[in-house]
Amino acid sequence: DTGVSQDPRHKITKRGQNVTFRCDPISEHNRLYWYRQTLGQGPEFLTYFQNEAQLEKSRLLSDRFSAERPKGSFSTLEIQRTEQGDSAMYLCASSYTVTENYGYTFGSGTRLTVV
Amino acid sequence: QKEVEQNSGPLSVPEGAIASLNCTYSDRGSQSFFWYRQYSGKSPELIMSIYSNGDKEDGRFTAQLNKASQYVSLLIRDSQPSDSATYLCAVNPDQKVTFGIGTKLQVIP
């Protein structure tokens, strides 16, 4: 297994454009998480899936953000009408279940810059 | 009050010394506790997990947990310049992990 894969690694977009990121988790993991991290801060929870079901969304996740995980495999995170405040590193992580204490395995992240 | 509190640092230690990183958390229901290392521009990497009160050792790393005091720490013995990174304390009060802001560690050769 090659770990958690994220694509693209970097994305520069103009304000107002839509962007979509992809995450391929470790195949044995049934949970998939999206986090956002800005400079000098820790990762901030956005949403998570167990298999194909989206179980929780952060209140910080505005209506411009949507995530899917069709068939419980890869996941996509879409941001519509991007704003400069969306500039951040978007991290995907997968795990069996946190309560089984395996922790997360993170992907390399997608760095978004909105200009 | 933030759920996970860490001093952002930087914490500077000489090579070969013990680095001590500390963290407090607010939710007494938290069951699992993690330390992640994050190099600049990279994603976090899990280095230690601890679930029971006391110490857990793995190589040069020792995690310490005191649930009564809601306190987690990470000790790095024989610190090396390659240990220079940001160390994120993470706690799971529910079905997801909550992170602190991280402590930046600088190991001076």
Residue-wise pLDDT for A42-52, tens only, equals 999 999 999 99
Express as a percent the part of chain B with pLDDT over 90: 87
The answer to which of A31-40, A48-57, A100-109 has the lowest mean pLDDT is: A100-109
What is each CA distance from A76 to A20, A29, A32, B64, B96, in whole angstroms?
A: 7, 16, 11, 37, 19
pLDDT band at A101 (very low <50, low <70, confident <90, very high): low
pLDDT of residue B93: 74
What gap in Å lies between CA A10 and CA A37, rounded to an integer? 14
Residue B35: closest CA among chain A residues belongs to which residue? Answer: A103
pLDDT band at B76 (very low <50, low <70, confident <90, very high): very high
Cα–Cα nearest to A76, from A85, A68, A84, A88: A68
Residues of chain B with Cβ-Cβ distance to A42 below 8 Å are 4, 88, 90, 99-102
Query: Shortest CB distance from A42 goes to which of B43, B49, B102?
Result: B102
Dump strand ranges (E) for A58-109: 65-68, 75-79, 88-95, 105-106
Distance CA A113, CA A83 (A): 10
More confident residue, A96 or B54: B54
Task: Check CB contact of B46 with chain A, cutoff 8 Å.
Answer: yes
Beta-strand relationship, B61-66 and A31-37: unpaired
**Hey, is B55 helix, strand or coil?**
strand
Task: Mean pLDDT check: name the lowest of A20-29, A90-99, B34-43, B55-64.
Answer: A90-99
pLDDT digits (tens, 9 = 90+) for A16-33: 999 999 999 999 888 999
User: Which residues in chain A are closer than 8 Å to B98, comparing Cβ atoms?
Assistant: 45
Q: Give phi and psi for B34, each to the nearest 5.
A: -135, 155
Cα of B75 to nearest chain A Cα, Å: 19
Q: Give tens-digit pLDDT for B38-47.
A: 999 999 999 9
What is the rounded average pLDDT of the residues B89-104? 90
* CA–CA gap between residue B81 and residue B13 (Å, rounded): 10
Report which of A15, A29, A17 is spatially closest to residue A78, judged by C-alpha positions.
Answer: A17
CB-neighbour burial class of residue A34 (10 A; exposed 0-12, middle 13-18, buried 19+): buried
Percent of chain A exceeding pLDDT 90 equals 78
C-beta of residue A31 within 8 angstroms of C-beta of residue A75: no
Tell me if chain A has a CB within 8 Å of the CB of B28. Answer: no
Q: Which pLDDT value is given to residue A102?
A: 72
How far, CA to CA in Å, does B9 sit from each of A75, B69, B84?
35, 22, 12
3-state secondary structure (DSSP) of residue A34: strand
Confidence class for position B29, pLDDT limits 50, 70, 90: confident
Say if residue B22's pLDDT is above 90. Answer: yes
pLDDT at A1: 55
The whole-angstrom separation of Cα A97 and Cα B11 is 33
Chain pair A-B, CB pairs under 8 angstroms? 59
In chain B, residues with a C-beta closer than 8 Å to the C-beta of A89 are: 43
Q: Tell me phi and psi for residue A93, to 5 degrees.
A: -140, 155
Judged by CB atoms closer than 8 Å, whether chains meet at B44 and A106 is answered as yes
